[in-house]
Amino acid sequence: MKEFLLQAMIPFLTATLGTLGFALLFWVPKRHLAFAVLGGSMAILAYLGATLIWTDLFLCNMMAMMVSAAYAEIMARVTKCPVTLYLIPSIVPLVPGGGLYYTMFYLVDGNKEAAMIMGEKTLLTALGISVGILIISIVTQFIYALKKA
């Protein structure tokens, strides 16, 4: 467990800094900045924790995004701000940018087998992110529909 914590420090720190950079890029107001960055930190911690349980990229990314999306929904209600203020920056640590790059690199290089393998991983990651957001969004809408009834 100690080794895992040491190995998790670099992804956690880089994800937190990356989330901060994108939150600043998207003009997140200063009073919400720390909460937006916390969402990205939670996403990468949830992802790293999920990798201890599963090896499937789809499941790990879906669970991490569900944690992050739930946090964004809660913070949006607490601070009376749009969900996207917290959700967009928290997606950043999970986005498969490197996977997209290497998929295109292998395609241009003519290595179709490597492109297919990397493309599958990239697609599973993107699907996990989108399904995680979708599940939490549906659950949230269902809960608020029940409250109105």
Q: How far apart are CA 35 and CA 66, in angstroms?
A: 17
Query: Is it the case that residue 5 has pLDDT exceeding 80?
Result: no
76 phi and psi angles, rounded to 5 deg: -65, -40
Query: How far lies 90's CA from each of 43, 72, 103, in Å?
Result: 6, 8, 24
Model pLDDT for residues 131-148, shown as the tens digit of each residue: 999 999 999 999 989 988
pTM equals: 0.90
Model pLDDT for residues 44-65, shown as the tens digit of each residue: 999 999 999 999 999 999 999 9
Model pLDDT for residues 105-127, shown as the tens digit of each residue: 999 999 999 999 999 999 999 99
Taking the mean position of all CA atoms in its chain, how far away is CA 137? 15
Q: Helix 30-53 and helix 2-25: axis angle, to 10°?
A: 140
pLDDT tier at 38 (50, 70, 90 boundaries)?
very high
